[in-house]
Amino acid sequence: MAKNEEIVFGIHAINALINSAPERFIELWLLKGREDERLLPIINLARKYGISAQMVQRKVLDDKCKGEQHQGVVARVKPGKVLSENDLDDIISLAEKQNKSPFLLILDGVTDPHNLGACLRNADAAGVQAIIVPKDNAAKITGTVRKVAVGAAETVPLVQVTNLARTMKHIQKMGVWIVGTAGETDTCLYDVKLSGPIALVMGAEGKGMRRLTRENCDQLVKLPMAGSVSSLNVSVATGICLFEMVRQRAL
């Protein structure tokens, strides 16, 4: 596969991508003999947009996505635009124009594609306007991320920044309050005001936030843990924190 191409698989991921950017599709492969109600909308969209679709055996699909669960549909696509620091101001000002206060998610060093995909799905459900990640030492959008995100990779902008601490300072100047999660604080998530322009920072699996990231937060919070397990999976913790923010923002 050429460097400037990407393999995408999974029913939701491909459906969302055809609906949002049909011009990116180079070719589409579908499982031979499987034309059920879940695949038919994709077949119809491919016809509508003139995307070349081939019926192939399961082994061909397995090989193309290196054994990942493809649900009978795989595509080769052109890569999408990679968003950077420069796009962040536009995202924030667009939210303000729509009378929505900025609502952002910052992931510091989350490297597992399944966790990134699940965080995208959480962010989409909660109404987050963008996810900010460092350019290095972080998961990028891949076929696996798109599959786990069930379409949210097309709806939530992923902004890759060169210097996370500098970006945090920049959005603070724009009036965004930054709340980070850290096990060592005594402040519980449910005791803090979490409405208004806000960004949630979640640290890497196991290690948590880096020192500089932690120092640039306005507030540190933790989830109350009653059991013997000391922490939750990052995507689960992200969902809990985002929806407490959603609850408070709705009040």
Q: Which residues are annotated as a binding site for S-adenosyl-L-methionine?
A: 203, 223, 232
| Closest C-alpha to 120, from 212, 1, 239 | 239
Cα–Cα distance, 129 to 135 (Å, whole number): 19
Going through the chain in order, the beta strands assigned E by DSSP cover 6-9, 25-31, 53-56, 73-77, 103-108, 130-134, 158-161, 177-181, 198-203, 219-221
Handedness of CA 88, 105, 149, 155 (dihedral sign): negative
* Phi and psi at residue 61, to the nearest 5°: -65, -45
Q: Are 120 and 107 in contact (CB under 8 A)?
A: no
Q: Specify the DSSP class assigned to residue 81.
A: P
Binding-site entries: 203, 223, 232
